[in-house]
Structure formats: structure tokens, C-alpha cells
Amino acid sequence: MDLAGSKILVIGGAGLIGSHVVEELLKEEVREVIIYDNFCRGSMENLTEALRDPRCRIFEIGGDIMQADILDAAMEGVDGVVHLAALWLLQCHEFPRAAFDVNVRGTFNVLEACVAHKIKRLVYSSSASVYGDAVAEPMTEDHPYNNWTFYGATKIAGEHMLKAFHKRYGLPGVGLRYMNVYGPRQDYKGTYVAVMMKILDNLDKGLPPVVFGDGSQSYDFIYVTDTARANVCALKSEIPLGFYNVGRGIKTSIKELTELLLRLTGSDLPIKYEPAGQTFVTNRVGDPATAARDLGFNWTVDLEEGFQRLIEWRRTHIAEVEKRRQKAT
């Protein structure tokens, strides 16, 4: 899809990934970027930079995907849609009915509106949660669904609804299976990446970083601006339908992550190990080769550079970080 002169709707555009997607889109020759968000988790602070661009605006009437008529109005004249809105993993675990409504019925509303308005391309935010724990490494897109969470179940449902809408109505779309996304503007609600914020909180107070279990739990961490670029690559691609990993293909344990944060902050505090709590997945790393081949997406920010950027963002956004911390408690 050619983005020049296009009008793009970013659903969930005020969140961690969504706000970075908006900024990446504004680097293109788009005509307009509309943010559709109910600010349940997203924030106006995330949009400070983007809203300085006259091509960018928040949809004035509303931003909830459960309000199908308002969503339909937001789609008017739109060329491409990026759909990121969802309840996150722990919310889905604690409130499965709400998760069904938002992640499944809400996604159906998005698909239905895309068809009604003849949208040229949809990018759907899926998740590596569809895979669950690794059966084989690295996880290719053919890896079996080994998911045991309700969040993962809603993402599998979203993928299969997109496939069905493509088959029946010809809706072109790409689903992106994000690995563990981190970076500036992240909050304390991410099940696996929140550990970074909590470690840095402790180091700020001169307290040892806490690791639950033995720290061997291992994940594929991908920087948020790389994740945002993957969305733009997916919009610009000509793939009629596909589902792709968005990660680096590099596995990092929580112990290794903690040791890197200690080194970057110049701390010599020892790691404090606590008994493991609730853990949904302990081992996951994605193969990025197919996304590179089909979408032209390649990651650029390694973990050390990404952590340095996260640390600097925290340092320069103290009040905002405190606000996010309090919202999570």
C-alpha cells in the first residue's frame, strides 16, 4: 500500500506501541493520521510530540471499539487501519468476560467497519502469546498454538476472524505477533517488561533488584520504535494476508536483563531472589526471518541501546513515571 497522501486510523494510538506507530507514520508522506483511543491505558502525554504535527489529530467523538457506530464514523474516508486496542494479559486473566467483549467483539467491530468502508489494508496487533511456551526454538510462524491464557485465546480468535474476513470479503490484512515490547512510555502493567521498571525503581532507591524464581525465565525483547516500524512496514507491504513475528530472535533471561541494568546504571548491588509467583510463560523467542523477507522489517535497536534509552526517558520524565507507577498500584 502506498502511504503517500493516505489517511490512516490508529486504533489504540495513545498507548505505548500506538503512540510510536503514530510518530513513525508521520515520518511518511501521509495526508492524515487519526488517533482513535478511549484512554483506558493510553495517555495524552504519549501524544505530546505527535500532536504538534498538523496532520495528526484525535478523533473528536470518541475512541471506544465497543461503540460500533462511533467507530464506523471514524473510518469514513480512511485508507488504512492499525488496530492495537485490547485488554492486556492480566486483565484478560482476571476479567475474561470483559476481555471477550473488547478483544473479540471489539475486533469484530473493527473488521466489520473495515469491510463497510473498503479499507485498503488492516494491520492487526496479535501477540506471541498465541504460541505460549516454546515447543521448538526459535519459534517460526508455523509454531503450534501452545497458549493456555485467555489473552492468547482472544488473539488467536482475532487472527482467525481476520482470515475469515479476508476469505469472505477480500479484506487485505497482516497480523503482527509481538514478542516482549519495551521502551519509553511503558507502564507497570506489562506482565514481563514491567520487571524493568521495578528493577530501576529499586536501584533509584538504593535497593537490590528483585528477581522472582531463579531468573532463568527467558524472552525475546524488542524495542518499541522497532515494533512501530514493523507496523508501518506491514501497512506498506503488498502481502494480501499473513501473520508475522515481531522480535529480534535473541533470547534474554530475566537474570541477564537484571545484570545488564545493573551494569548500565553503575550499580554493584546484589540481585535479591524471591520465590516465583504467577508466571504465564517462561520460555519464548521468535524467529524474525519471515517478517524480514515478506515485510522488509529488520530490527535495529539492541538491548543495551534500548535500555539506555529507557533509562534516559525515565530520568527526563520523572513526574510522568511517578504517575504511571501510582496508576499500577
Query: What's the CA gap between 55 and 39, in Å, rounded?
Result: 20
pLDDT tens sequence across 40-99: 999 999 999 999 999 999 999 999 999 999 999 999 999 999 999 999 998 999 999 999
Which residues are identified as catalytic?
A: 151
The alpha-helical segments, DSSP class H, found in 170-302 are 194-204, 224-236, 254-264, 289-295
Whether this model's pTM surpasses 0.85: yes
Q: How many angstroms separate the CA atoms of 205 and 55, rounded?
A: 42
Structural domains of the chain ordered from first start: 7-181+222-246 (3.40.50.720), 183-220+251-283+302-327 (3.90.25.10)
**Model confidence pLDDT, tens digit, residues 259-313:** 999 999 999 999 999 998 777 888 999 999 999 999 999 999 999 999 999 999 9
> Looking at residue 271, what DSSP letter applies?
P
Length of the chain: 329
- The set of residues, in sequence order, having a beta carbon less than 8 Å from that of 305 and lying 6+ positions away, is 223
DSSP 105-143: IHHHHHHHHHHHTT-SEEEEE--GGGTBS-SSSSBPTT-
Place of cell 462511533: 70
Tell me 283's DSSP state: B
Asked if residues 46 and 10 have their Cβ atoms less than 8 Å apart, the reply is no
User: What are phi and psi for residue 17, nearest 5 degrees?
Assistant: -75, -45
